[in-house]
Amino acid sequence: MPQVDYFHHSPNMPTPPLSAAARVGNLLYVSGTPGFHVGGRLDEGDFGRQFDQAVVNLREILANGGSSLRSLVKVNVLLTRADDVAEMNRRYAQAFGPAPYPARTTCVVAALPDPRMLLEIECVAATQET
């Protein structure tokens, strides 16, 4: 059976029963990552700040798992407001670019686990095999 390695969130992050990421072979699967700050604060109602902080969190999770934003294979962006799509694409291009970009799916869901969350980003990244 191939080994699965699990990577933890920073201390003081909200902690439902999940790992920030798990690696199998040369793939790193990253959990749906919202824009919480260390300590659990969330910029309520501010999509731009939540997005930017989610990217900060993703960068750290990817680095812990031996990968980076430049080795992404697939990204899923989950939003709660259809009106945020255009701003998401603008900020996404800055954070995840330049091209070539990873494959991606975007959808608007009915809700995310915390009602203050306006987005969540999950991804699969290439990483070095251990």
Footprint on this chain of a copy of itself (rule: CB under 8 A): 1-4, 6, 8, 16-27, 29-32, 67, 71-76, 78, 80, 82, 85, 89, 92-93, 96-97, 99-113, 115, 120, 122, 124, 126-129
Taking the complex as a whole, the smallest distance from the CB of residue 23 to a copy of itself amounts, in Å, to 8
Minimum distance from residue 37 beta carbon to a copy of itself (Å): 20
| Contact indicator for 109, 11 with CB cutoff of 8 Å | no
Please identify, using beta-carbon distances, which residue of 46 and 83 lies nearer to a copy of itself: 83
Strands 103-108 and 72-79: parallel
Nearest residue (CB) to a copy of itself, 5 versus 43: 5
**How far lies 119's CA from each of 2, 3, 4, 128, 130, in Å?**
32, 31, 27, 28, 32
* Shortest Cβ 59–a copy of itself spacing (Å): 16
Q: How far is CA 50 from CA 7, 26, 66, 126, in A?
A: 22, 29, 24, 25
Q: How far is the CB of 127 from a copy of itself (least distance, A)?
A: 7
One-letter amino acid identity for 111? A
Q: Between 24 and 63, whose beta carbon lies closer to a copy of itself?
A: 24
